[in-house]
Amino acid sequence: MSTKASAPLWEVIAVIVARLIFAALFTMAAAFKYTDMSGTAAYIESAGFAIPLLLTWLAALFETALALCFLTGAFFTEASLLAAVYVIFLAFAFHGPARWESNQTEFGFFVDHFTFLAGLLLAAVHGPGTKLVARFVAFPRTR
């Protein structure tokens, strides 16, 4: 039996709001891809990637899965870590140093990804909270 007291209400609310923000961001990213697959594929191709349409579909499906994980709390830590890797990949692939000289706003986009990374890493460490969490693993979370 755990002796840990339940979290104060403000912490519960903060975690749920953070999860909703993560879910909303990944839902919007996926929706943009679903509504303009060819445009996103063209952007991916312009960054030098092969098989851009397949990559667009994979990204949209991955972002949808991430949104579901953040909404439900299922596989939360794993989703947070995968999202962190994905966000940093996107920073370098689409907003990296090679793009700064021709468009200085790209540096701002690049830096924003690290803010997102920080939130995802904190989420991975602290977990989905105690409310509105779907558990699919046989053993309880120890944090």
pLDDT in tens, 46-89: 999 999 999 999 999 999 999 999 999 999 999 999 999 999 99
> pTM of the entire structure?
0.86
pLDDT at residue 1 above 50? no
| Domain residue ranges of the chain, discontinuous segments joined by + | 10-126
Query: What is the C-alpha separation between 110 and 104, in angstroms, rounded?
Result: 10
Query: What is the C-alpha separation between 129 and 143, in angstroms, rounded?
Result: 9
114 DSSP assignment: H
pLDDT band at 138 (very low <50, low <70, confident <90, very high): very low
Question: Span 101-120, mean pLDDT?
Answer: 92
Look at residue 134 in the predicted model and tell me its pLDDT: 67
Look at residue 139 in the predicted model and tell me its pLDDT: 44
Least confident of 65-74, 92-101, 112-121: 92-101
Question: Span 1-13, mean pLDDT?
Answer: 74
Least confident of 34-48, 112-126, 128-142: 128-142
Query: What is the C-alpha separation between 72 and 133, in angstroms, rounded?
Result: 6
